[in-house]
Amino acid sequence: MSPFDGLLDQLEQNKTLPDPEMAFLICSDQPDLAESLFTRARRVASQHFGRRIFPRGLIEFTNYCRNDCYYCGIRRSNRRAERYRLTKDEILSCCDQGHRLGFRTFVLQGGEDPFYSTTFLSDLVRSIKGNYPDCAVTLSIGEKEFEEYRRLREAGADRYLLRHETADAFHYRELHPAVQTAANRLRCLNDLKTLGFQVGSGFMVGSPGQTTACLLKDLHLLKELEPQMIGIGPFIPHQDTPFADEKPGCVDRTLRLIAILRLMMPRALIPATTALGTLDPQGREKGILAGANVVMPNLSPVDVRKKYALYDHKICTGEEAAECWQCLQTRLNGIGYELVVDRGDYNPA
């Protein structure tokens, strides 16, 4: 019995809480509250997924970006970023290696790079789906027009990751230049949903200017959007951005938010992110123990990894894909979980 059981029962049963109670869970740093929250989130995750963790093979295929988000190391204005692009053959060989290791989802992630036309990307998706009919293809390539999304979906892309970043329009303007709008981000998310993509959204925890009210809005937005995937991770400053001197987000708060999201959306696919593992050497394990059920190790060629630096000190930039698979399997086994060879699709009730 914990003094917080009433509150947590309410969250688990109603899948929501009134704002003041939710704010309390987000902000309280009482260790016994966090522990009860994590235990419960873990139990809910294991009811749906057992102790199975789904791996996604991340291929960071370009770090060119037309956007200028103030928090991001590959923003257009960062003249110090060393830019690279992978060819179709290079991307396919990452998939090849990934498939041999056991990955059954490939995530093609990149900056918003107009060099890759929708025709090129559609052809790439068709090739991957043709080579590996047992795999899911996830795109994470930013804001596009409905027609472009439609063609990518038609080419066989199954899923799309596009974090909403912040649900507060004022806060959105503190994080992005005026040409990048919260309204267009939401338009994109709705288009993706309409087209039948499994959609992933999410936000950074502790981004500059974020208040508790912003986080409450983030939770409301996610509840309304009902994405199949939810990615959250702590903000980490990058030295060559306007936010270089800002404080990083709080790991414990990120973990509480993972647990809250698990209780709000029991079947969601929630990664223990690389950013969490970057701020805390045990961050990904802690994420799993707070209710996450996905990990996203890198499949990009080792010689480009350091160049895909959204934030400073990113982990796993020197390891080969095989090393990360093994490393994660060992880490997960150590906490009683296992990495599985499975597409890990969203499974509606």
Q: If binding is defined by CB under 6 A, does position 165 make contact with ligand 5AD? A: yes
Nearer of residues 106 and 311 to ligand 5AD, judged by Cβ: 311
| Contact pick of 186, 236, 251, 270 for ligand 5AD (by CB under 6 A) | 236
User: Tokens 């906490």 — which residue?
Assistant: 335
Q: If binding is defined by CB under 6 A, does position 110 make contact with ligand 5AD? A: no
Q: If binding is defined by CB under 6 A, does position 27 make contact with ligand FES? A: no
User: Tokens 């936010």 — which residue?
Assistant: 243
Q: What residue 296 binds from ligand 5AD, ligand FES, none (CB within 5 to 8 A, per partner kind)? A: none
For 149-209, give the DSSP string: HHHHHHTT--EEE---B-S-HHHHHHHS-TTS-HHHHHHHHHHHHHTT-EEEEEEEES-TT
Shortest Cβ distance from residue 291 to ligand FES (Å)? 20
Supply angle C-alpha 168, 79, 247, rounded to 5: 45
Residue 96 makes CB contacts below 8 A (sequence gap 6+) with 131
| Contact pick of 47, 323, 336, 341 for ligand FES (by CB under 6 A) | 323
For 87-111, give the DSSP string: -HHHHHHHHHHHHHHT--EEEEEE-
Question: Per CB under 6 A, which of residues 264..323 are in contact with ligand 5AD?
Answer: 275, 310-311
Nearer of residues 312 and 319 to ligand FES, judged by Cβ: 319
Count of residues that interact with ligand FES, criterion CB under 6 A: 7
Q: If binding is defined by CB under 6 A, does position 316 make contact with ligand FES? A: yes
Q: Which two tokens stand for residue 205?
A: 């925890």
Residues at the site binding ligand 5AD, with contacts judged by CB under 6 A: 71-72, 163, 165, 204, 233, 235-236, 238, 275, 310-311
